[in-house]
Chain A
Amino acid sequence: MTNCLKLVQLSHRVLSKMGRGGSLPGEIGLKLDPNFIEKFKMPAIVVLVTGTNGKTTTSNLIAESLRAAGLKVINNRRGDNLNVGIATLLATNSDAQYHVQAQAAVIEVDELTLYRQFRNLHPTHLVITNFFRDQLDRAGEMETIIRKIQDVTADFKGDIILNGDDPNTLRIADTAKLAKIHTFSVCRNAVSKDKTDEASEGKFCPRCGSPLEYEFYQYSHIGRFHCKKDGFGDVTPDVQVSKINYDTESFTVDGTEYHNFINTIYAIYNCASVLTVMKTLSLDPKAADKVFRTFVMKEGRNEVFALSKPCVINLIKNPTGANEVMKYINAQPGEKNICIFLNDNDQDGHDVSWIWDAHFERLNTPEVKHIICSGLRAYDMALRLKYEGLEDRITVIENSSEAVHWLNEQNLESYVIATYTALHPTRAILRKEASR
């Protein structure tokens, strides 16, 4: 079936000439040959990155760090994490005999489909960022996702890098008995809290069912937990962040100071996972620090557009991510306007009830002057804010171009938050508006 690969590679070249990227080549490959992905001879290092939040950022950080350490790396940097995206990545980076031309592949994989492609991709490393409550109509209950990943890693002999402060990911350590388990953890710091009011899953010990006890929470259910009965959660982390200085945007591991590309707790967890990967590969962590210092999040992750005043766009897709974005917005000084795009297409999840699990009351601060609600479910968003006492500051503008234009006219710093299918169209509108 080498012809199939040739056809896919040809389609990629034609599409590229037409200025079109995307996953169409992979789609063609999988249509012609359902076993397309397993045909590839993978590089010596294959790092799969999965989890609920932070997959795209983490996998890009890992890929860049491996490059900075001198390796030839391929990765699906735009977050095309489904079969077609992965097939495209492999096909466009291999020779005619399905040999992937790289020393390492860093592949972001959707947590819902990981179990289908896991063995085909011949991973050497599996990184799990976290498991949060996500779009439930699409994802099913988180429990189902974890069990499928447990099934597929039961006989895995490679390295598994787990968030040691997330009981939902740490569960994998109990069932992946043949794998080498590595964990990362972050110490108590300025944002840590004794109690949480954020929607969370995994309040109980997966071994014995007793409630987990928390020394502190970082965000959602991420924090230092343990089970009094059986010691679940008592980890000796491979990478322990021992200090965070939010003023200098830096953190410390093993006495070495690292600089962070964005001043948020979840980004420090992303960095800690990267350092753990570097450690298991015996690569110089300084290479990662170089990346941390200069890494620019793109594609709607804290991306800035030059409207009349700066406008920052962020993706939201579940309560935990939304909560963290709102904390970030609140931490930025000065008056601001906010625009929320809520869609309910397939990739957003048809069920928008998750907005009631997120803490939108956090936007009820004196600095927030006005909130525009837009997108297919603009009125659901407006209602959510109305019941947090923001009634006098909300306006529904269903048309996205008009919503962005309104922001531009206000001459005030603004923050746009958008669900998945609204993200790229909104970025395009922002780009256009910024060049007016």
Chain B
Amino acid sequence: MNLKILWMYHDLMDLYGDKGNAEVLRVRAQKRGIETVVDTCTIGQAVNINEYDLFFLGGGADKEQNLIFEDLIRRRDGIKEAMDNHTAFLLICGGYQLFGRYYKDQDGNVVEGLGFFDYYTEATSRSSRCIGNIAVETTMDGETFKAVGFENHGGQTRNVATPFANVLKGYGNTLEDGMEGFMNDQVLATYMHGPLLPKNPKIADKILQRALAKRYGRVELEPLDDTLENKAQEVMLKRLH
């Protein structure tokens, strides 16, 4: 069994340690004897997205996000094809926003998103960012569990049909509505950095299963020793309690 991960714009959308997610997926797959390739792709680089089992896009600073935007839009058909062929998606922060309808910045400028989903994002004023540690509860593929991370975004994402999680502590998609991220059967989009996966091994394994399902159907993963992972999560959950 093997796994192919495509890490988009690794050199530009690499804020807040999001690269740790790719590392965690690779190591956890390899520990199960699954041969894993993580390929990177930057602006202007040709790639057949549909060849991959997982598409990973992290967050970036505003300047970098504006740079990749046009390149990403040009790849829309390739992304659509991958999506129709059951590729799994992990999108963090800016990556999350760009898959929605649009992003409106503080000056009212509107950047059209890829429009795969109906949610949209509007910036708030500088003074009211969603920032801090966050704890959520999610139900992924039939299992309900808690997760922790760190959020840091001004954008308020609304009209999310199927959120990723309920917020226990922190903000989530907006300053007020108590829901976090977007999720469907193949896409997990979230504002949660930290990075997301090291302290949330259950999410990491669910994503691996979703990615492997593209070519292998339902795959059971043998449990790993997650003592440190669970301890790190517990420390934060206790603090946020």
Contact between chains at A354 and B17 (CB < 8 Å): yes
A357 within 8 A of B: yes
B241 within 8 A of A: no
If A383-B232, A387-B198 touch, does A136 touch B24 (CB 8 Å cutoff)? no
Kindly specify which of A1-9, A42-50, A137-145 makes contact with the partner chain.
A137-145
* Smallest CB gap from A349: residue in B: B150
B210 within 8 A of A: no
Q: 0/1 per residue, A175-216, Cβ < 8 Å to B?
A: 000000000000000000000000101011000010000000
Contact between chains at A355 and B17 (CB < 8 Å): yes
If A356-B20, A379-B228, A384-B198 touch, does A137 touch B235 (CB 8 Å cutoff)? no
* Smallest CB gap from B21: residue in A: A356
A351 within 8 A of B: yes
Interface residues contributed by chain B, number (CB under 8 Å)? 31
B73 within 8 A of A: no
Q: 0/1 per residue, A339-376, Cβ < 8 Å to B?
A: 00000000000111111110000000000000000000
A433 within 8 A of B: no
B152 within 8 A of A: yes
Contact between chains at B19 and A350 (CB < 8 Å): no
B17: chain A residues within 8 A (beta carbon): 353-357
B229: chain A residues within 8 A (beta carbon): 383
A431 within 8 A of B: no
Q: How far is the CB of A393 from chain B (nearest CB, A)?
A: 13
Kindly specify which of B59-67, B79-87, B105-113 makes contact with the partner chain.
B59-67
Contact between chains at A383 and B67 (CB < 8 Å): no
Kindly specify which of B8-16, B158-166, B176-184, B212-220 makes contact with the partner chain.
B8-16
If A353-B20, A379-B228 touch, does A387 touch B27 (CB 8 Å cutoff)? yes
A353: chain B residues within 8 A (beta carbon): 16-18, 20, 150, 193-195
Cα separation A384 to B150 with both chains bound (whole Å) = 16
A229 within 8 A of B: no
Cα separation A386 to B225 with both chains bound (whole Å) = 11
Contact between chains at A141 and B194 (CB < 8 Å): no
B61, B193, B228, B232: the one within 8 Å of A351 (CB): B193
A382 within 8 A of B: yes
If A351-B193, A353-B20 touch, does A136 touch B15 (CB 8 Å cutoff)? yes
A351, A354, A380: the one within 8 Å of B199 (CB): A380
If A143-B62, A353-B150, A357-B14 touch, does A379 touch B232 (CB 8 Å cutoff)? yes
A142, A209, A351, A357: the one within 8 Å of B19 (CB): A357
If A351-B150, A387-B20 touch, does A356 touch B195 (CB 8 Å cutoff)? yes
Q: 0/1 per residue, B129-160, Cβ < 8 Å to A?
A: 00111000000000000000010100000000
B206 within 8 A of A: no
B74 within 8 A of A: no
Contact between chains at A386 and B62 (CB < 8 Å): no
Contact between chains at B16 and A382 (CB < 8 Å): no
Q: How far is the CB of A419 from chain B (nearest CB, A)?
A: 15
26 examples of A-B residue contacts, CB within 8 angstroms: A136-B16, A136-B152, A141-B62, A143-B62, A201-B61, A203-B11, A350-B132, A350-B133, A351-B152, A352-B150, A353-B16, A353-B18, A353-B20, A353-B193, A354-B16, A354-B17, A356-B17, A356-B19, A356-B23, A379-B232, A379-B235, A380-B232, A382-B228, A383-B228, A384-B198, A387-B27
